[in-house]
Amino acid sequence: MSSPDLTQAEREAVLAVLNTPNLSMGQEILDFERAICEYTGAKHALGVNSGTAGLHLCVHAAGIREGDWVLTTPFSFVASTNVILFERATPIFLDVDPLTGNMDVTCLREAVHDLLEGGSAARRWLPRQGLKGDGVQRDAPRLKAILPVDVFGQPADLDPILDVAQAHHLKVIEDSCEAIGATYKQRPAGRLGDYGVFAFYPNKQMTVGEGGVIVTDDDEAANIMRALRNQGRAPGDTWLQHTHLGYNYRLDEMSAALGRVQLSRLDELLEKRAQVARWYEERLAEIPGVEIPVVVPETTRMSWFVYVIRLSGVDRDQVSKELKTRGIPNRPYFIPIHLQPYVASQFGYREGDYPVTEDLGRRGLAIPFSGVMPEGDVDRVCEAIREILSKQV
């Protein structure tokens, strides 16, 4: 489905670390974090050992606790919801924009209005069951934060999201795990809310193996997240003193070294991916039954993560199978989070609850995509799609 884009420079950087005794908590992580700050303009960058770990620390830093509500979307990779569940908070799902798959901001405005009003207005947005801490008297409102996802490398519509957040004192955690380098109205994705997270799994635009990074301008949040990343050690704690209940979410030195080289090549990596996306677009745009990805005007730079087409008038799963028979890997994208078994059973979600998400989930097919994909391979994939569809449509 994908392939990392690595050169001799990456291999040498990792090898150089292996020729020292410092494999964790050394100079490489500091250098990588400084480079991320320079690239994004963030005051703080914290390397972590996965994007999920980064999002989890942000949820904690945002003060989200048991029984709190966080507005997010079910059209995403499961991690964006899991990190809310880790803290026993409740994800309140909003349906998505049919063009981008990102948070529908009209839904957001209505939901915030209704949730703050309470009663039956609020119930329309809440899950059927599984709310924690109900009946507990509280001083603080339950609605704490918004967690928008920049789906497939296209930033969510952050201006209206930030307006709502500001008006109601909600934190914004931007899941930019699929969107490093993207811009929204010329502003960098991941830098628009209170916290942003980028992920570096091998299929992402740049990789460190396993890892991610948090960016924020919030000093206090950065301090607590640094402590929690490092087994709860606060500044001044010794190796075996732990002020907080923490985690081991550290990024090792080999990964940081790899990340620094990848980051120095990021603009090149993104341009190569954009070229492959253009090749796909040229070939797929004219095939009946295929809808190609839409880049909206607010997205002043798309950071291509995956290439997901939508099929209409044909059986997506049948097309998927036939492509596999021809040796072309592909994947449905996404299976909606509210229908994942553990989420559906905890909260009582059913098919039909989020129609746009479900429609996109039924029709979306990710096809092979990476910055090192040769034009001939794009030809082969597109020819196969054309042939299979010509029989089906």
Ligand X SMILES: *Cc1c(COP(=O)(O)O)cnc(C)c1O
Least gap, CB of 13 to ligand X (angstroms): 20
80 to 109: interface string for ligand X, x by CB under 6 A: x-----------------------------
- 356 binding ligand X? (CB under 6 A): no
Least gap, CB of 18 to ligand X (angstroms): 23
Binding-site size for ligand X (CB under 6 A) equals: 14
State which residue, 190 or 289, has the beta carbon closest to ligand X. Answer: 190
Least gap, CB of 306 to ligand X (angstroms): 9
- 201 binding ligand X? (CB under 6 A): yes
Least gap, CB of 184 to ligand X (angstroms): 16
State which residue, 53 or 292, has the beta carbon closest to ligand X. Answer: 53
State which residue, 157 or 175, has the beta carbon closest to ligand X. Answer: 175
35 to 74: interface string for ligand X, x by CB under 6 A: ---------------xxx----------------------
155 to 184: interface string for ligand X, x by CB under 6 A: --------------------x-xx------
Rounded distance between C-alpha atoms, residue 218 and residue 170, angstroms: 15
State which residue, 97 or 175, has the beta carbon closest to ligand X. Answer: 175
State which residue, 52 or 370, has the beta carbon closest to ligand X. Answer: 52
Least gap, CB of 313 to ligand X (angstroms): 29
- 198 binding ligand X? (CB under 6 A): no
Least gap, CB of 308 to ligand X (angstroms): 12
Tokens of 212: 């991610």
- 311 binding ligand X? (CB under 6 A): no
Asked if residues 144 and 62 have their Cβ atoms less than 8 Å apart, the reply is yes
Distance from the Cα of residue 325 to its chain's centroid: 30
Least gap, CB of 20 to ligand X (angstroms): 26
Q: Which residue is nearest to ligand X (CB)?
A: 51
Tokens of 315: 């059986």
Least gap, CB of 331 to ligand X (angstroms): 13
Least gap, CB of 94 to ligand X (angstroms): 15
State which residue, 178 or 252, has the beta carbon closest to ligand X. Answer: 178
Asked if residues 156 and 174 have their Cβ atoms less than 8 Å apart, the reply is yes
- 77 binding ligand X? (CB under 6 A): yes
Three-class SS string for the chain?
Answer: CCCCCCCHHHHHHHHHHHCCCCCCCCHHHHHHHHHHHHHHCCCEEEEECCHHHHHHHHHHHCCCCCCCEEEECCCCCCHHHHHHHHCCCEEEECCECCCCCCECHHHHHHHHHHHHHCHHHHHCCCCCCCCCCCCCCCCCCCEEEEECECHHHCCCCHHHHHHHHHHHCCEEEEECCCCCCCEECCEECCCCCCEEEEECCCCCCCCCCCCEEEEECCHHHHHHHHHHHECCCCCCCCCCCCCCCCCECCCCHHHHHHHHHHHHCHHHHHHHHHHHHHHHHHHHCCCCCEECCCCCCCEEECCCCCEEEEECCCCHHHHHHHHHHCCCCCEECCCCHHHCHHHHHHHCCCCCCCHHHHHHHHHEEEECCCCCCCHHHHHHHHHHHHHHHHHHC
State which residue, 52 or 154, has the beta carbon closest to ligand X. Answer: 52
Task: Give Cβ neighbours of residue 359 (< 8 Å, ≥ 6 apart).
Answer: 98
Single residue of 79, 221, 225, 256 touching ligand X by CB under 6 A = 79
Rounded distance between C-alpha atoms, residue 236 and residue 259, angstroms: 29
202 to 231: interface string for ligand X, x by CB under 6 A: ----------x-------------------
Tokens of 337: 């989070």
Least gap, CB of 49 to ligand X (angstroms): 9
Single residue of 13, 103, 149, 356 touching ligand X by CB under 6 A = 149
List of residues contacting ligand X (CB under 6 A): 50-52, 76-77, 79-80, 149, 175, 177-178, 199, 201, 212
